[in-house]
Structure 1
Amino acid sequence: MTEVSKAERELGSAFLPRFDAAGLVIAIAVDAATKDILMVAFMDREALDKTLETGLAHFHSRSRGKLWLKGETSGHFLRVQEMRVDCDQDALQLTVIPEGPACHTGARSCFYRRLDGDTLVRIEE
């Protein structure tokens, strides 16, 4: 595998995702309409390729150790409108149109609580 220079990765125009030692990159799903962060997950090469191919957010499930299509059981798909890449290409921002709640708890976002001192307080949506 050819080594990519820091300048090429950070300043060039080639998409050169930098997967960690486990073969993953962070993926942050952001609501296209509200700009709220809906969820944070991980993608491996397979999930990234499937997302680019289908326009539906796919992730790598660390707990199951396999490809996961968001919405495959709930029907709450995330339709990717745009993908942004951070400066060193080790994190992705997916601008999405959610088809239902993003969180497995049924909340619109996985970020449905705020920290108040040492207590979690549910945010009313």
Structure 2
Amino acid sequence: MTQRPDVILYDGDSYPTALHLFEALKYLPHRPDVARMIREAPLQDMSAISERHAAAMRPDWDNVALQMMDDVLYHKFRQHARARDILLATGNAPLLHQDAGDAFWGGGPDDLGENHMGRALERVRQRLIDERAR
């Protein structure tokens, strides 16, 4: 059976996209019911479900969110060879997530944002390179 290109397998469950998994991790392991709703939601409804349950979000989320994104991306690239090959083909070039509307995950309107997504991709890329070298 061929896995859909966006599906991420994590802890025995299938998530339709990496974003679904990232949002669900805000509620795992303490609220698996909310995580399941997020996992099963259409992409356009997923964020609203997460926001509706924000009071139940893990209290340490702000401290672990970047590590969780690294974990999500690692699972994605480990499970999808084509995406992994594209990421590895970037060598050791700096990666910029170009998103004019997001200066946290992306470069923002002037590409001077925090670029946390680009840096997470760089960390995952290095982890994959290190694993290949072993």
| TM category, shorter | under 0.3
Greater helix share, 1 or 2? 2
- Bigger relative contact order, structure 1 or 2 (CA pairs below 8 A, ≥6 apart): 1
The structure richer in strand per residue is 1
The TM-score normalised by the length of structure 1 is 0.26
TM-score, reference length from structure 2: 0.25
